[in-house]
Amino acid sequence: MPVLETSGIRKRFGGTEILKGISVRVEKGEVLAVIGPSGSGKSTLLRCITQLETVDSGEIRICGETLVQNGPDGRAVYSSRKTCGRIALHVGLVFQNFNLFPHFSVLRNITEAPIHVLGKTKAEAEASAMELLKKMGLSDRSGAFPCQLSGGQQQRVSIARALAMNPDVLLFDEPTSALDPELTGEILEVMRGLAAEKMTMVVVTHEMAFARDVADQVAFLEDGAVVEQGPPEQVFGRSQNERVRAFLSRFSQG
Amino acid sequence: MNFTVLISQMLQATLMTLRIFFVTLIFSLPLGLLVAAGRMAKTRAVSLPVRFYILLMRGTPLMLQLLFLFYGMKPIFGIQPDRVRAAEIAFVLNYAAYFAEIFRGGIEGIPRGQREAARVLGFSRRQTFFRIVLPQVVKHILPPMSNEFITLVKDTSLAQVIGVAELLKITSDWVSSAVSMVPFAVAGVFYLIMNAAVTRCFTAAEKHYGYYR
């Protein structure tokens, strides 16, 4: 059973169709890299999976539960609010610009949701938060506030915050796009570590080396559609698609 | 002019001024939050009347609103509120409109990503508002709020138009009976002391919230 499966999802903003029937499938422990030019709908795809946007039609199943499916008229029908809420807890999201809560300390950024959403005790939540911070190499910064951290540190905290909810699949929306190359390396290192631990991940990224080396599957999106999907060797090495080859040529020359 | 009597009567009147000040804050701040919510409501059936309310409160003189709430209630609704009650209601309704717009500015100024991050973490709308959004709003609206608080201290003097015995009313009475300007000077000092205290509180609050960004 796939952890995440979307089939034929469509999303329209005003007059423009941003997603034109996207189908992806991620098995447990797999890393799916979503690449493609800006404006191709990569972020929107993640936003639909995390329920920050609703789809117009298509189906999304997460951990065997149906979030949304097509009604008899072909339009999307969402499951009950309760089911949607439960499904949301299976999914974590790491944002491009971190979105840490500035008024909370690093520790509280991580513990707030486990305590008030999952009902963990403070001691329990703090113990596992410290564990995560240790893993992120930030044990000594638990009392700091986000504004006192570098971008790389902030992103590591936001990954810890997402992991604290124990998601079955973790989504990354261009997690390194707001960072300089050095800090980018830092975050990619953390993500490689998660992949090695068999964390199921969907990573929207412009870091082609990461996609090629770490992903089990690569999906190339353009203009709201999956142009090519397959193992990285196929997409990067012997793509039959003109557009994919053109997009990747700049990278392979580098 | 007996100075001791003057000061004691002015202190007495200051209590009335402070009463209006605190009653207004206690009721108009929560009401303002509610009005802000109504103003931002997606349903026009809610937001339109609320917009009209805000226009009415900000678009007509507070003095007129005081006069209306004291003299206009009996002929229209058949009930006569007492002076102080009428003044309190007028101030609460008026200030709620101003506070609502300050709250709205503060709430809309919080980046959308904050709400999205909270939502993805599973917080309910209520939790998101009270745990994530509101604490940040408070920090950002302190400067405009201090303006309103200071204005409110001085606006309480308008209550004299419906005969409330607040500080400036008692002061003017003394000025005309004693034919002396001294009471005015004393009143000025009283207002200044109250607003120095208000300013101090806001400085402390800004410092308290200064630990981030």
The DSSP symbol for B128 reads I
| Residue found under tokens 């997603």 | A19
Tell me if B164 is assigned to some domain.
yes
With an 8 Å Cβ cutoff, the interface of chain A facing chain B consists of 50-52, 85, 88-89, 91-93, 95, 97, 99-103, 112-113, 116-118, 145-147, 158, 161-162, 165
Residue ranges of E strands in A189-244: 201-204, 217-222, 225-230
* Order of all β-strands in the sheet with A91-94: A91-94, A169-173, A201-204, A31-35, A217-222, A225-230
Nearest Cβ partner for A99 among B116, B123, B136: B116
Distances (CA, A) of A168 to A78, A138, A198, A231, B200: 21, 24, 11, 22, 50
Task: With beta carbons under 8 A apart, name residues in chain A contacting B121.
Answer: 112-113, 117, 161-162, 165
Q: Are A90 and A53 in contact (CB under 8 A)?
A: no
Instruction: Give which of A61, A81, A60, A58 is closest to A71, Cα–Cα.
Output: A58
Instruction: With a cut of 80, say whether residue A251 has pLDDT above it.
Output: no
CA distance A190 to A133: 12
Q: What is the pLDDT of residues A78-100, one digit of tens each?
A: 999 999 999 999 999 999 999 99
Minimal CA separation from A6 to chain B, in Å: 18
Dump pLDDT digits (tens) for A37-50: 998 999 999 999 99
3-state DSSP assignment of residue B188 = helix
In 3-state terms, what secondary structure has residue A62?
strand
Confidence of residue A249 (pLDDT cuts 50, 70, 90): confident
A113 to chain B: closest CA residue = B121
* Domain total of chain B: 1
CB-nearest to A116 from B114, B120, B123 is: B123
Q: Chain B: nearest CA to A234, how far in angstroms?
A: 33
Question: What domain range includes position B27?
Answer: 3-208
CA distance B173 to B20: 20
Residues of chain B where predicted confidence (pLDDT) is lower than 50: none
Residues of B in contact with A92 (CB under 8 A): 120
CA angle B191, B193, B196 (to 5 degrees): 110
Q: Provide Rg for chain B, Cα atoms.
A: 20
Report the pLDDT value the prediction gives residue A238, as an integer from 0 to 100.
Answer: 84
Question: Looking at this predicted complex, what is its ipTM?
Answer: 0.92
Residue B31: inside a domain: yes
- Give the residue among A131, A210, A174 at the shortest CA–CA distance from A39: A174
Instruction: Judge whether B172 and B141 are in contact, CB under 8 Å.
Output: no
Give the residue among A194, A237, A201 at the shortest CA–CA distance from A216: A201
CATH of the domain at B10: 1.10.3720.10
Indicate whether A12 pLDDT > 50.
Answer: yes
Q: Which of A103, A145, A165 sits opposite B121 (nearest CB)?
A: A165
Q: Judge whether B101 lies within some domain.
A: yes
> Going by C-beta distance under 8 Å and a sequence separation of 6 or more, which residues neighbour residue B154?
B191, B195
Q: Are A219 and A190 in contact (CB under 8 A)?
A: no
B213 assigned to some structural domain:
no
Both tokens assigned to A65: 């539960």
Q: Give residue-wise pLDDT tens across range B158-182.
A: 999 999 999 999 999 999 998 889 9
Residue pair A81/B122 in contact by the 8 Å Cβ criterion: no
Q: Measured between beta carbons, which residues in chain B are less than 8 angstroms from residue A96? A: none
Within a domain: B100: yes
Minimum CA–CA partner of A144 in chain B:
B212
Residue B155 lies in a domain: yes
Residue A101 has its nearest CB partner, among B114, B119, B120, at: B114
Asked if B175 contacts B186 with a C-beta cutoff of 8 angstroms, the reply is: no
Q: How far is B123 from chain A (nearest CA, A)?
A: 6
Q: Which residues is A70 bridged to in the sheet?
A: A76
- pLDDT above 90: residue A63: yes
This prediction has a pTM of 0.88
**pLDDT tens, residue by residue, A219-241:** 999 999 999 999 999 999 888 88
Residues of chain A with C-beta less than 8 angstroms from the C-beta of B111: 99
**Interface list for B 109-168 with A (CB within 8 A):** 111, 113-114, 116-123, 127, 131-132, 135-136, 139
In degrees and rounded to multiples of 5, residue A41 shows phi and psi of: 105, 5
B80 domain residue, yes or no: yes
Asked if A95 and B117 come within 8 Å (Cβ–Cβ), the reply is yes
Q: For residue B148, is it within any domain? A: yes
